[in-house]
Amino acid sequence: MDILAELAQHLLSGDDQKVSELTRQAIAAGLPPKQILDDGLIAGMTIVGERFKCHDLYLPDVLMAAQAMNAGLEHLKPLLVREGVPSLGKVVLGSVQGDLHDIGKNLVGVLLKGAGFEVVDLGSDVAPERFVEAATQHAAAIIGMSALLTTTMPEMARVVALLKEQRLDGRFKTIIGGAPVTERYAREIGADAYGFDAANAVERVKGLMGK
């Protein structure tokens, strides 16, 4: 089995030590960080999602897989983030109210930082008002929102509506993402952009900033 398939396999079984060790080995073997992320860690997490859906895995298994994913990400983060690049602009980022999923949001943050953006990470379960307050307080250009649950997606619409209500929609652009979110949903709620993965999020944010 190649090292990335092995990595995905150990993520699936929630073995954080093995995932940590194999991620280090993959880096040492010279594999590109993006490939380790996509074909190792994310590939493993996609299978976890599928198995969880058909009740082949349970919540504690998913939590262990998430911990293992984070153990691998710790080694990749420094390689994905370049330090000391001049800031291209500020992005306020968070998982919306009611949503505790933060792995994808964190990845978006890492790649945005890597591309030279300043990121203010508000964490998860972020209330609509908090997004708006933080963007104002930090003079951000962009608000990025993540939702992994169909039940929390409407929170994104609340933030967009709040910006309109406070006439701040001209000042802050919004970008949304997360597994159930689509380009069409972004259009429907009046968000400025949608990103299907972390690399695409960077492209779309650059587009919003006119870079």
Among 12, 71, 73, 108, the residue binding ligand B12 under the rule CB under 6 A is 108
Among 99, 121, 155, 192, the residue binding ligand B12 under the rule CB under 6 A is 99
Select the span of 62-70, 72-80, 115-123, 163-171 touching ligand B12 (CB under 6 A): 62-70
Buried residues in 191-207 as b, exposed as e (16+ CB within 10 A) = bbbbbebbbebbebbbe
Q: What ranges in 98-173 are assigned the alpha helix state H?
A: 103-114, 128-137, 154-165
| Cα(37)–Cα(33) distance, integer angstroms | 6
Q: Is 186 in the site for ligand B12 (CB under 6 A)?
A: no
Q: Is 110 in the site for ligand B12 (CB under 6 A)?
A: no
Which residues ranging from 5 to 44 are in contact with ligand B12 (CB under 6 A)?
A: 42
Among 168, 197, 206, 207, the residue binding ligand B12 under the rule CB under 6 A is 197
Helix (H, G, I), strand (E, B) or coil at 150: coil
Total of chain residues touching ligand B12, rule CB under 6 A: 38
Q: Is 175 in the site for ligand B12 (CB under 6 A)?
A: yes
Closer residue to ligand B12 (CB): 28 or 60: 60
Residue type, 120: V
Question: Which residues face 142 on adjacent strands?
Answer: 91, 173
Helix (H, G, I), strand (E, B) or coil at 125: coil
Find where tokens 């080694």 sit. 75
Among 3, 27, 31, 62, the residue binding ligand B12 under the rule CB under 6 A is 62
The two beta strands, 142-146 and 90-95, are parallel
Residue among 200, 194, 14 nearest 107 (CA):
200
Among 11, 68, 71, 103, the residue binding ligand B12 under the rule CB under 6 A is 103
Q: Which residues bind to ligand B12, rule: CB under 6 A?
A: 42, 45-46, 48-49, 52-53, 59, 62-63, 66, 98-105, 107-108, 144-146, 148-151, 175-180, 195, 197-198, 201
